[in-house]
A and B are shown apart, each in its own frame.
Chain A
Amino acid sequence: MIRTLITNARLIDPEAGADAPGAVLIKDGAILEVRPEESPQGLDEGARVIDAGGKCLAPGIVDIGVKVCEPGERHKESYRSAGLAAAAGGVTTMATRPDTLPAIDSPEVLEFARRRANEAAPVNVLPMAALTKGRLGREMTEIGFLLDAGAVAFTDCDHVVQDTKVLARALTYARSLGALVIAHPQEPGLSDGAAATSGKFASLYGLPAVSPMAERMGLDRDIALLEMTGARYHADQITTARALPALERAKRNGLDITAGTSIHHLTLNELDVAGYRTFFKVKPPLRSEDDRQAVIAALRDGLIDTISSMHTPQDEESKRLPFEEAASGAVALETLLPAALRLYHSGDLDLPTLFRALALNPAKRLGLPSGRLAAGAPADLVLFDPDTPFILDRFKLRSKSKNTPFDEARMQGRVAMTFVAGQTVYEADRCP
Chain B
Amino acid sequence: MRFDHDHLLGIEPLAPADIATLLDLADQYAALNRREVKHTDALTGLTQINMFFENSTRTQASFELAGKRLGADVMNMAMQASSIKKGETLIDTATTLNAMHPDLLVVRHPQSGAVDLLAQKVNCAVLNAGDGRHEHPTQALLDALTIRRAKGRLHRLSVAICGDIAHSRVARSNIILLGKMENRIRLIGPPTLMPARIDEFGVEVFDDMEEGLKGVDVVMMLRLQRERMDGGFIPSEREYYHRFGLDAEKLVHAAPDAIVMHPGPMNRGVEIDGELADDVARSVIREQVEMGVAVRMAAMDLLARRLRVRRAEQSDKGVMA
In the assembled complex, the Cα of A321 lies from the Cα of B111 at a distance in Å of 10
Which chain A residues (169-207) contact chain B, with CB distance < 8 Å? 198-200, 202-207
In the assembled complex, the Cα of A204 lies from the Cα of B203 at a distance in Å of 13
Closest to A325 in B: B111
- Given the known interface contacts A204-B172, A206-B134, A206-B169, the answer about A323 and B197 at a Cβ–Cβ threshold of 8 Å is no
Which chain B residues (70-117) contact chain A, with CB distance < 8 Å? 89-91, 109, 111-114, 116-117
For residue B133, CB closer than 8 A to chain A, the reply is: yes
A200→B200 contact, CB < 8 A: yes
B117→A200 contact, CB < 8 A: no
Which chain B residues (1-24) contact chain A, with CB distance < 8 Å? 12
A200→B201 contact, CB < 8 A: yes
Q: Is the interface of A mostly helix, strand, loop or mixed?
A: loop
In the assembled complex, the Cα of A428 lies from the Cα of B163 at a distance in Å of 60
B112 to A: closest C-beta gap in Å: 4
A206→B135 contact, CB < 8 A: yes
- Given the known interface contacts A276-B112, A322-B109, the answer about A203 and B132 at a Cβ–Cβ threshold of 8 Å is no
User: Interface size (B, Cβ < 8 Å)?
Assistant: 24
B196→A323 contact, CB < 8 A: no
What residues on B are CB-neighbors of A321 within 8 Å? 89-90, 117
In the assembled complex, the Cα of A323 lies from the Cα of B133 at a distance in Å of 12
Q: Is the interface of B mostly helix, strand, loop or mixed?
A: mixed
In the assembled complex, the Cα of A207 lies from the Cα of B112 at a distance in Å of 6
What residues on B are CB-neighbors of A209 within 8 Å? 196
- Given the known interface contacts A202-B196, A203-B195, A324-B132, the answer about A276 and B113 at a Cβ–Cβ threshold of 8 Å is yes
B86 to A: closest C-beta gap in Å: 15
For residue B280, CB closer than 8 A to chain A, the reply is: no
For residue B198, CB closer than 8 A to chain A, the reply is: yes
What residues on B are CB-neighbors of A323 within 8 Å? 111-113
B97 to A: closest C-beta gap in Å: 16
Closest to A317 in B: B89
- Given the known interface contacts A203-B195, A203-B197, the answer about A320 and B112 at a Cβ–Cβ threshold of 8 Å is no
- Given the known interface contacts A317-B89, A322-B90, the answer about A205 and B113 at a Cβ–Cβ threshold of 8 Å is yes
B319 to A: closest C-beta gap in Å: 32
In the assembled complex, the Cα of A202 lies from the Cα of B172 at a distance in Å of 12
In the assembled complex, the Cα of A200 lies from the Cα of B131 at a distance in Å of 18
B211 to A: closest C-beta gap in Å: 22
Which chain B residues (44-92) contact chain A, with CB distance < 8 Å? 89-91
Greatest chain B CB density within 10 A among A206, A211, A321, A324 is at: A206
What residues on A are CB-neighbors of B117 within 8 Å? 276, 320-322
For residue A254, CB closer than 8 A to chain B, the reply is: no
For residue A275, CB closer than 8 A to chain B, the reply is: yes
In the assembled complex, the Cα of A107 lies from the Cα of B318 at a distance in Å of 63
In the assembled complex, the Cα of A320 lies from the Cα of B112 at a distance in Å of 14
What residues on A are CB-neighbors of B196 within 8 Å? 198-200, 202-203, 209, 211
B172→A206 contact, CB < 8 A: yes
B77 to A: closest C-beta gap in Å: 18
What residues on A are CB-neighbors of B198 within 8 Å? 203
Q: How many A-B residue pairs have CB under 8 A?
A: 66
B7 to A: closest C-beta gap in Å: 13
B116→A275 contact, CB < 8 A: yes
What residues on B are CB-neighbors of A208 within 8 Å? 133
In the assembled complex, the Cα of A324 lies from the Cα of B111 at a distance in Å of 7
B119 to A: closest C-beta gap in Å: 11
Which chain B residues (100-149) contact chain A, with CB distance < 8 Å? 109, 111-114, 116-117, 131-135
B253 to A: closest C-beta gap in Å: 27
B235 to A: closest C-beta gap in Å: 20
In the assembled complex, the Cα of A322 lies from the Cα of B121 at a distance in Å of 13
- Given the known interface contacts A199-B196, A200-B197, A276-B117, the answer about A206 and B91 at a Cβ–Cβ threshold of 8 Å is no
Which chain B residues (154-209) contact chain A, with CB distance < 8 Å? 169, 172, 195-198, 200-201
A322→B201 contact, CB < 8 A: no
What residues on B are CB-neighbors of A324 within 8 Å? 111-113, 132
B315 to A: closest C-beta gap in Å: 29
A373 to B: closest C-beta gap in Å: 46
A360 to B: closest C-beta gap in Å: 38
A206→B89 contact, CB < 8 A: no
- Given the known interface contacts A276-B117, A317-B89, A321-B89, the answer about A205 and B201 at a Cβ–Cβ threshold of 8 Å is no
> 1/0 per position for A69-80, CB-CB distance to B under 8 A?
000000000000
A276→B116 contact, CB < 8 A: yes
> 1/0 per position for A251-279, CB-CB distance to B under 8 A?
00000000000000000000000011000
In the assembled complex, the Cα of A202 lies from the Cα of B196 at a distance in Å of 8
What residues on B are CB-neighbors of A205 within 8 Å? 112-113, 134
B200→A322 contact, CB < 8 A: no
What residues on B are CB-neighbors of A198 within 8 Å? 196-197
In the assembled complex, the Cα of A200 lies from the Cα of B197 at a distance in Å of 5
In the assembled complex, the Cα of A357 lies from the Cα of B80 at a distance in Å of 49
Please list 9 pairs of residues, one from A and one from B, whose beta carbons are closer than 8 Å in the complex, sorted by A's number.
A198-B197, A203-B201, A206-B133, A206-B134, A207-B133, A209-B196, A276-B112, A323-B111, A324-B111
Q: Known contacts A206-B169, A275-B116, A324-B112; can you find 15 more A-B pairs with CB under 8 A? A: A198-B196, A199-B196, A203-B196, A204-B12, A205-B113, A206-B134, A207-B113, A207-B132, A276-B112, A317-B89, A321-B89, A322-B113, A324-B111, A324-B113, A325-B111
Q: Please list the residues of chain A having a beta carbon within 8 angstroms of any beta carbon in chain B.
A: 198-200, 202-209, 211, 275-276, 317, 320-325
Report the 4 A-B pairs with minimum CB-CB distance, sorted nearest first: A206-B133, A276-B113, A206-B134, A203-B195
